[in-house]
Amino acid sequence: MEKKMIISGKIEETRNQIKEWKRQGLSVGLVPTMGYLHEGHRSLMEAARRENDKVAVSIFVNPIQFGPGEDFASYPRDLDKDAALCESIGVDLVFHPEASEMYDEGFCTYVDMDGLTKELCGRSRPTHFRGVQTVVSKLFHIIPADRAYFGQKDAQQLAVVRRMVRDMSMDIEIVGCPIIREQDGLAKSSRNTYLNDEERQAALVLSRSLAEGRKLVEAGERDTAAIKKCIAEVIGQEKLARIDYVEIVDFSDITPIDSLQDAKEGEALCAIAVYIGKTRLIDNFIFHVS
Ligand code: PAF
């Protein structure tokens, strides 16, 4: 008999289903998303499918991680298409709550962090990570999975979630998955749909600038100021692009470093955020220091 994918908007129903799978001794992988799924999400779901008995995907455009004036209202949504993709990959459960189910009246408890969230995206989006940590923490309580899958494209988010899990002694393994790109190099993102044709072309400057930075690193450059300058210069040549930040930080704690050699756990994150017209895009690479 063909198994049917469960779609639930209710916390209790979802939790009971996960409990039942756990009672049967089955492992569960969780892929948290905001929907409008693309190939990047597909790679997370496929990894979860390979590594777990059951796969749960959450689809929730989380209002509290958007700041005033950001794109919460216009964020793209298409549940039917998302559900069809999940089903084709063999997802077992889609959790798709209303905002009122996640944040009922009087909601006032947040998960926050002192370090890691202040640099990079935290500078222009000061309340963003508090919203991410709070919803991810709630999702981990509703769906107490064995593993949760996050993309490296949101590298700071990945570092923040890893730190939260460590600090709060949460019993879940965080699996980071590589960035998935369009054929021409643009990192996959639900926000790419905001770009018109001219902007879509201009957006290639993100991956192109990082490729130039990486070349410099591969040629032996370790001084982060020199690498950032090279990346910023490439971005500066694109008239539709405006830099929010070009930064190189220690991936373990998201603190700026002067030399790639300073990365304490051997991973330096080179991350950029660039406005193409009104759309803010991010991209990065991680350099493993030997
Ligand atoms: O990366 C995202 O899509 C979101 O930030 C997440 C992790 C699903 C939390 O809302």
Atom of ligand 1 nearest to the CA of 33: 8
The C-alpha atoms of residue 73 and residue 123 are separated, in whole angstroms, by 22
Which pLDDT value is given to residue 261?
A: 97
Going by C-alpha positions, the residue among 67, 72, 73, 68 that lies closest to residue 127 is 67
Torsion-angle region of 274 (φ positive above 0: left; ψ -120 to 50: alpha; else: beta): beta
pLDDT at residue 2, as a whole number: 63
> Helix %, strand %, coil % for the chain, to 5?
40, 20, 35
Angle value at C-alpha 34, between 211 and 127, nearest 5 degrees:
80
Handedness of CA 154, 243, 61, 6 (dihedral sign): negative
Active site residue 41: yes
Tens digits of per-residue pLDDT, 199-235? 999 999 999 999 999 999 999 999 999 999 999 999 9
- Residues 165-183 as b/e (b if ≥16 CB within 10 A, e otherwise) read beeeebebebbbbebbebe
Distance in angstroms (rounded) separating the CA atoms of residues 41 and 47: 10
State the distance from the centre of ligand 1 to the C-alpha of 122, rounded, in angstroms. Answer: 15
Nearest ligand 1 atom, CA 32: 8
Instruction: For the chain, list residues with pLDDT below 70.
Output: 1-2
pTM over 0.85, yes/no: yes
H or E, element range at 98: none
Strands 255-256 and 241-250: antiparallel
Contact 97, 107 (CB under 8 A): no
Residues contacting residue 264 through CB under 8 Å, at least 6 positions apart: 250, 252, 253
Long-range contacts of 259-264 (CB under 8 A, 24+ apart): 259/222, 259/223, 259/224, 260/217, 260/222, 260/224, 260/227, 260/287, 260/289, 261/222, 261/289, 263/287, 263/289
* pLDDT at residue 270, as a whole number: 98
> Which residue, by CA, sits nearest to atom 2 of ligand 1?
33
- Which residue spans of the chain are classified as CATH 3.40.50.620? 6-177
Asked whether 7 and 126 are in contact (CB, 8 A), the reply is no
* Edge-first strand listing for the sheet containing 28-33: 6-8, 93-95, 54-59, 28-33, 147-151, 173-177
Cα–Cα distance for residue pair 152/154, rounded to 1 Å: 5
| Cα 226 to ligand 1 centroid, rounded to whole Å | 32
The pLDDT score that the predictor gives to residue 1 is: 56
Site of tokens 């690193």: 217
* Whole-Å CA distances, 84 to 13, 14, 24, 89, 217: 21, 19, 27, 9, 42
Question: Which residues approach ligand 1 with their CB closer than 6 A?
Answer: 32-34, 62, 65, 132, 135-136, 154, 157
For ligand 1, atom 1, the nearest C-alpha belongs to 33
How many C-beta atoms surround the C-beta of residue 101 within 10 A? 16
What residues does CATH 3.30.1300.10 cover in the chain? Answer: 190-285
Q: Active site residue: 41, 96, 141, 288, which one?
A: 41
| CATH classification (class only), 190-285 | alpha beta
pLDDT attached to residue 3: 76
The CATH code belonging to domain 6-177 is: 3.40.50.620
Tell me what pLDDT residue 231 has.
98
Coil/strand/helix, residue 245: strand
CA-nearest residue, atom 9 of ligand 1 = 132
